[in-house]
Amino acid sequence: MLTSVSPLPGSAIVPTTLVKRDAFGDEYDVMEVVLDKVTPYQHIEILDAATFGRCLFLDDIIQSAESDEYIYHESMVHPAMIMHPCPKRVLIIGGGEGGILREVLRHNTVTQVTMVDIDREVVRACKKYLAEWNQVAFDDPRTEVIYADGRAFVNWTRESWDVIISDLTDPVKDGPSSGLFSLEFYEVVNQRLAEDGILVVQGESVSPDELDLHLAMFRTIARVFPRVRVHSAEIPSFDDTWGVIVASKRLELGVLAPCEVDRTIAARGCSGLRFYDGTKHSLLNSLPHYLRLAQSGQGQIITDDQPVFIRTNDGSQTSS
């Protein structure tokens, strides 16, 4: 929701400021509305915010901000790509703004990236208004973009991938991504992953007061994949610490030595990284105690019949 706020009520000469209130009640001062459009799947807003620069919101939830999108995208992509000995074929499920695509393509081992996003309008808008983020990623000859529901795609395809990255919007009741967080979905994803492959999933908030969805995802993915690890990154524009869930069938997901990571980054031709390097990689093992403790406990598994949704400010999204 966008509202106009006058700093001095009643004064006609003071310019009004637009305020974006998101689904959690957090507010962003807005300098300019770049795009406000409703598609068959979601409400897209691209806004120039005072603190975070250009921001993409979908259904009132921030997806990326100019000032820190590299933190989210690098932490989603590089730890897993570096743990994999030679990632060639990569599948991105979601990923609309192209930041994940951009980071994957930095690796010179990659021969083919397929990005499957349900909403052509999001990709079109991001190409036009967030061109600096996706740079030339969408034009790279290794890129293939398919407009389809990610679940329908993995059910249909018989291809397999070295790395699969699920970069979806949060599961909101009746939202477009709500069917892509269940045990049944991850079982099919497992079939599409190469034997030595790695799955990466945007793992939601890992803040102590917001853990339910992350833990349900963690437990669900751990039912399907024998090896699962989590790392996290603070994202200022999300006002939150975000989890990244990494899983594999058999590939070791141990933390590598910083010099080995830096050597691999250089050998892969990954230049221009701003967040991730060998030193940052060595901190992947530094999850706080409360989180490790919570992950070791029992609790709900997400299934098609028993979904879990993100809890938003209107209280409408809770466990079914």
Name every residue whose Cβ is closer than 8 Å to that of residue 296 and which is 6 or more positions away in sequence.
Answer: none
**Smallest distance from the beta carbon of 53 to ligand SAM, in angstroms?**
15
Verify binding: residue 60, ligand SAM, rule CB under 6 A: no
Q: What angle do CA 307, 308, 310 make, to 5 degrees?
A: 140
Q: Is 196 a catalytic residue?
A: no
Is the separation of the CB atoms in 95 and 292 below 8 Å? no
Helix (H) or strand (E) holding 280: helix 278-282
Strand order in the sheet with 61-65: 2-5, 17-21, 27-38, 43-49, 53-58, 61-65
Q: Which two tokens stand for residue 317?
A: 């999204």
Minimum Å gap between C-beta 29 and ligand SAM is 20
Site string for ligand SAM, 131-170 (x = CB under 6 A): ------------------xx----------------xxx-
Catalytic residue among 162, 167, 212, 240: 167
Nearer to ligand SAM, 60 or 119 (CB): 119
Closest CA to 167 of 108, 103, 111, 220: 103
Q: Is 75 in the site for ligand SAM (CB under 6 A)?
A: no
Q: How far is the CB of 117 from ligand SAM (least distance, A)?
A: 4
Q: Is 103 in the site for ligand SAM (CB under 6 A)?
A: no
| Per-residue tokens: 128 | 């036009």
Confirm or reject binding of residue 110 to ligand SAM (CB under 6 A).
no
Summarize as ranges the residues that interact with ligand SAM (CB under 6 A): 58, 63-64, 72, 93-97, 116-119, 122, 149-150, 167-169, 176-177, 180, 202
Catalytic positions, written as ranges: 167
